[in-house]
Structure 1
Amino acid sequence: MTETTRTPAAAATPPHHPRARLHYAWVVAAVSLLVLVGSAGFRSAPGLMMTAWNSQFGWSHGIIGVAVSVNLVLYGLTAPFAAALMDRFGVRTVTVAALLTISVGSGLTVLMTQPWQLILCWGFLVGLGSGSMAGAFATTITGRWFRARQGLVTGVLTAAGAAGNLIFLPVLSWLVQGAGWKVAVMVVSLCATAVSVPVLLFMRERPADLGLLPYGAGPGDVLPPATSGRAVSRTLRVLRDASRTPAFWLLAGSFAICGATTVGLVGTHFIPAAHDHGMPETTAASLLALVGLFDVVGTVASGWLTDRADPVKLLVTYYGLRGLSLLLLPHLFASDVKPPVLAFVIFYGLDWVATVPPTIAICRRHFGADAPIVFGWVLAFHQIGGSLAATGAGVLRDRYGNYDLAWYVAGGLCALAVLACLALRGRSVGSAPWPTPLSSASIRS
């Protein structure tokens, strides 16, 4: 009798388990965050050096804008192929190769004397390297390693771009002013090499390689299979299939406008535009870095909202508010930092790349296991839009002596993006199931 009365108490005692360890998905996410912070910082340099190159070589804003445009186009066109190459050869291999390409490209610019050399080094080499670590990289990491918190992690990794600007812009600006642009680009080159070290040491390909499920997955969940085959043919096949759907073109068109109004216009020309109004370049660079600070907040919040709200409604809100802010910007610039321009910086920072988590979520719902490559192609349109804006704004500045028309055109484009997103609301966004069930024999939780 005594024994039976003790049995429930004994049964109520939880069995002993080893202390839970940090899921390795968070280690992979941390390494990915470092890579993306560095990648964004490396891309921010041309805007800082535009005035220095103009003074030393006599190159116009339009010519330098062409180099930035080539960088942005290659950044975009590389992204979908990089996603397939990561499936084929591994994330670690592709990422390290990309970082070393950036290191070589930025380092060689110290030897340039002609515009074509700037286009070759910063346009082609840095564009190819940074494109290999574009949004498709974050989509690949979150798709492989996370089932829970996908939107939040996507937001954090997307915010890494803003964090890169926050870290690099003030430092590079100080170096350009104090030690010269050549020292600044050598710092970029050395940092790109340094970032490759933790990738080699800590990056892993898939949870199954460590005998794990993705974070938040259960034993009965269906997971994406490891793909094989030729990366180029798969990338082009995915583009062919996706391009037959209206949703792809609506996403691609709206994201092209996103690129035009962020990396192409503000990211490239904000500093020289502020300088046109008498603001010191170091001050303008600090403001652009502040955009990055609030972008971290806005993008992480957007990732959190994407897990809970309709991503299409989020995009409509983001593009609408962005357009209004750009229409007001020409009237806010001054020779020093005044409350109106500071308000723009805070507001625009919150909105900068908040579009990425909901765009990725819509790609996942429409295209399932091919979402990383599809998003890579959508990102290519983002960069094409950015490249057109980078060159176009420079040409307008050379012709009219200011950037006012560029800001007004950007505001109108945001209205078109709103219409494209509204068209997405009436279309099915049902999630496509992963095609291959999880083999629980080869992994453990």
Structure 2
Amino acid sequence: MLAKYLRFRFHYGWLIAVITFLALLASAGMRSTPSVLIVPLEHAFGWSNATISLAISINLVLYGLSGPFAAALMERLGIRRVMLGALVLIALACALTTIMSAPWQLDLLWGVLVGLATGSLASVLAALIANRWFVKNRSLVMGLLTASNATGQLVFLPALASLAVAFGWRAAAWATAIAALILLPLVILFFIDHPRDIGLRPYGASPEEDNGPKVIAGNPFSDAIAGLVRGLRSRDFWLLAGSFFICGASTNGLIGTHLIPASMDHGISEVAAASMLALIGVFDLVGTTVSGWLSDRMDNRWLLCWYYGLRGLSLLLLPYALGSTYLLLLVFIVFYGLDWVATVPPTSRLAADIFGKQQVGIMFGWIFAAHQLGAATATYAAGALRTAIGNYQLSFISAGILCLLAAGMVIRIGRAPGKMATLELPVEQAGALQ
């Protein structure tokens, strides 16, 4: 077997990380495709910004809510099977989008089906892979996998915008479907569910660490619901989920969806606006990778405080940057881009420290669901405000203020009695407690 041969050349976990990175990259590009299609769909069908934003909101809600259930399914059926099913569903839904003629079809195909499928190939998958395959460099790997969101924008958005301008929006939808199909053979041939399946321990694990099969009780649905009940009883869960709600509102929901039409309102072309969003992705690739490295070495609460604070200030700057010089817009792109999803590695690390590695998939899934609820709320609200008042200024300023609020929330994580000792231990000692 090829996997058994490759494990002698290097630890197979790194190949799993590469495959996961590519799957997450494609998923990020597929999920963000509607931001490129807002204006073309307005022109093609006469639909309002609010109508199209509703479909994107559905997509974002299900993208998040599917996470904990996908994590439970992955634990029971295997990560590989769930990934294959998700890729097939994405390809089918995107292909059917090209023959739609009514808003409800956009809601069903891109909202429901693509939302559910891409939600199975999101941060929950990254958390499972990082915690299952790695002990050493776990947060670094989480940062690299999370950075795939930025790389997906970098690869997909300018290309899809160019296709939409040159050949129509259907060409962009077909390109998304084909990208999903290309990934299928890679997952079929090379993906392995667990290190023990090929006689390995996680990378950096000690020989004494138990790597035997884990018995999973119940069914995926009840496991996911039980995780939610456990989380709702935890003050730290509410702080993590609440801050991540704001994170989603200020990233995927607002900037990821509406930066392109907002830029076009100020005379910037669609391709140039998509390239701007891709440039944010370049800086995020750097910022999120560095965030993963820092999460192994620093207090994750203070990292989150800095990330949310800087993001809030950059969003407050954006309304002035769009109407000003390109230099001011570049300042926004750099500072906002560096922490676009840099919040994910420290949030995932805190979830693993608080709830344990065995539960991190489901628990982080619910925290990520809050992220996507925030994204969906901001997506629809910003679209409705744009339709009602004709601009995005109020949306950008409100998101900036919320980020400053989140900066204060995250400092309170782990402040309950008995939590501080675990969260403030050096990495080596904290890992020994897990």
| Range class of TM-score, shorter chain | over 0.9
- Whether the 8 Å contact between 1:79 and 1:379 is mirrored in structure 2 is yes
Alignment of 1:82-97 (within 5 A): 82-97=70-85
- Whether the 8 Å contact between 1:222 and 1:434 is mirrored in structure 2 is no
Deviation track 1:367-409 (CA, whole Å, cap 9, x = no partner) reads 0020111000000000000000000000110111100000011
Shift of 1:309: 0.2
The corresponding residue for 1:12 is none
Whole-angstrom distance in 2 between the partners of 1:152 and 1:233: 32
Question: Are 1:175 and 2:157 an aligned pair?
Answer: no
Shift of 1:226: 2.5
AA aligned to 2:95 is: G
Aligned counterpart in structure 2 of residue 249 of structure 1, from 217, 227, 238: 238
AA aligned to 2:82 is: V
Larger CA deviation: 20-29 vs 127-136: 20-29
Shift of 1:92: 0.5
- Whether the 8 Å contact between 2:236 and 2:414 is mirrored in structure 1 is no
Alignment of 1:258-277 (within 5 A): 258-277=247-266
Aligned counterpart in structure 2 of residue 278 of structure 1, from 261, 267, 287: 267
Whole-angstrom distance in 2 between the partners of 1:394 and 1:295: 25
Deviation track 1:41-96 (CA, whole Å, cap 9, x = no partner) reads 10111111111100111111111110000000000000001111001000110001
Shift of 1:243: 1.4
Whole-angstrom distance in 1 between the partners of 2:413 and 2:394: 30
Greater than 4 Å deviation, 4+ residue runs: 222-225, 431-436
The corresponding residue for 2:427 is none
Whole-angstrom distance in 2 between the partners of 1:153 and 1:224: 23
The corresponding residue for 2:24 is 36
The corresponding residue for 2:146 is 158
Shift of 1:253: 0.3
Whole-angstrom distance in 2 between the partners of 1:227 and 1:367: 18
Question: Are 1:189 and 2:177 an aligned pair?
Answer: yes
1:271 alignment partner, SS class? helix
- Whether the 8 Å contact between 2:201 and 2:211 is mirrored in structure 1 is no
The corresponding residue for 1:409 is 398
The corresponding residue for 1:148 is 136
Alignment of 1:21-420 (within 5 A): 21-222=9-210, 226-229=214-217, 230-334=219-323, 338-368=326-356, 369-420=358-409
Deviation track 1:4-35 (CA, whole Å, cap 9, x = no partner) reads xxxxxxxxxxxxxxx96210001111100110
Shift of 1:228: 2.1
Q: Extract unaligned runs of 5+ from structure 2.
A: 1-6, 424-429
AA aligned to 2:229 is: R
The corresponding residue for 2:4 is none
Change in CA separation of 1:224 and 1:418 when aligned onto 2, cut-off 3 Å: farther
- Whether the 8 Å contact between 2:196 and 2:212 is mirrored in structure 1 is no
Q: Extract unaligned runs of 5+ from structure 1.
A: 1-18, 437-445
Mark the structure with the bigger radius of gyration.
1
Shift of 1:220: 1.4
AA aligned to 1:36 is: L
Deviation track 1:289-347 (CA, whole Å, cap 9, x = no partner) reads 00111110000000000000000000000001100110110001149x71110121111
Whole-angstrom distance in 1 between the partners of 2:264 and 2:230: 46
Larger CA deviation: 70-79 vs 229-238: 229-238
AA aligned to 2:286 is: V
- Whether the 8 Å contact between 2:157 and 2:278 is mirrored in structure 1 is yes
Change in CA separation of 1:96 and 1:136 when aligned onto 2, cut-off 3 Å: same
1:424 alignment partner, SS class? coil
Tell me the matched-pair count: 417
Change in CA separation of 1:221 and 1:265 when aligned onto 2, cut-off 3 Å: same
Change in CA separation of 1:211 and 1:149 when aligned onto 2, cut-off 3 Å: same
Whole-angstrom distance in 2 between the partners of 1:111 and 1:334: 38
AA aligned to 1:161 is: N
Change in CA separation of 1:178 and 1:404 when aligned onto 2, cut-off 3 Å: same
The corresponding residue for 1:443 is none
2:275 alignment partner, SS class? helix
Whole-angstrom distance in 2 between the partners of 1:224 and 1:231: 21
- Whether the 8 Å contact between 1:223 and 1:434 is mirrored in structure 2 is no
- Whether the 8 Å contact between 1:144 and 1:224 is mirrored in structure 2 is no
Whole-angstrom distance in 2 between the partners of 1:104 and 1:425: 44
Whole-angstrom distance in 1 between the partners of 2:432 and 2:86: 29
Whole-angstrom distance in 2 between the partners of 1:150 and 1:138: 11
- Whether the 8 Å contact between 1:41 and 1:161 is mirrored in structure 2 is yes
Whole-angstrom distance in 1 between the partners of 2:432 and 2:107: 41
AA aligned to 1:107 is: A
